[in-house]
Amino acid sequence: MKRVATRPIAPMDAAHLGRLVPLVALAATVVVTDQLSKAIAVHALTKGRIVPVAGGLVQLNLTLNTGAAFGLFRQAGDVFVAIALAVVLVLVVLHRRVSMMSTASRLALGLIAGGATGNALDRVRLGYVVDFVDFRWWPVFNLADSAIVLGTLAIAWLSARLERDGDDG
């Protein structure tokens, strides 16, 4: 049996770690802000209380979501926990490659990772995701959902720009 030589994985140097700090800091900020906002919503919006905001343009309306984004796939909660964990695991495994991305790309990934983690924490702790922002013409959502959408839109925009200009941000 022929033995295949493997190259040891080099430890992360300070420059690479430093480039990951904005991603990790933003992800942590998203998780903390999301969890705090959900705790406030659960406390303040009990018993069906709905609070109009911005002249009624938006309302705060507590919804316990056992499905995916926008209440779809209600019986697949465990799948979404696995997806959130996979997103974070991929970022950890590919840390060296991620650290070489533009700051904008790393921040977009931080939004996605933070949002996915915030909703995964709800699913693991509660068995559902707490949603409370209601525009009445759009499904009820939360800050983690917003972070995921904004991060995804930023990645799409940066990818289109990279394809067009050859510049990652």
* pLDDT tens-digit series, residues 19-52: 788 889 999 999 999 999 999 999 999 878 899 9
Asked if residue 6 belongs to a domain, the reply is no
The pTM of the full predicted model, rounded to 2 decimals, is 0.79
Determine the distance from the C-alpha atom of residue 148 to the mean position of all C-alpha atoms in its chain, rounded to a whole number: 4
Catalytic residue among 131, 134, 167, 168: 131
65-122: pLDDT as tens digits: 887 655 555 565 677 777 777 877 777 666 666 667 788 888 998 999 999 999 999 9
Residue 7 forms part of a structural domain: no
Q: Give CA–CA dist 24/158, Å, rounded.
A: 19
Instruction: Tell me: pLDDT of 61 over 90.
Output: yes
Residue 5 in any domain: the answer is no
Q: How many domains does the chain have?
A: 1
Domain that holds residue 51: 19-162
On whether the CB atoms of residues 131 and 145 are closer than 8 A, the answer is: yes
* In-domain check, residue 2: no
Q: Is residue 8 part of a domain?
A: no
Q: What is the pLDDT of residue 34?
A: 98
Catalytic residue among 13, 145, 167, 168: 145
So what's the pLDDT on residue 90?
76
User: What's the rounded Cα separation, in Å, for the pair 69 and 77?
Assistant: 11
Higher pLDDT, 18 or 153: 153
Contact 17/96 with Cβ under 8 angstroms?
no
Helix (H) or strand (E) holding 25: helix 14-44
Q: For the chain, what's the residue count? A: 169
Whether 145 is catalytic: yes
Q: Tell me if 144 is assigned to some domain.
A: yes
Domain assignment of residue 167, yes or no:
no
Q: What pairs with residue 129 in β-bridges?
A: 65
Residue 23, in any domain of the structure = yes
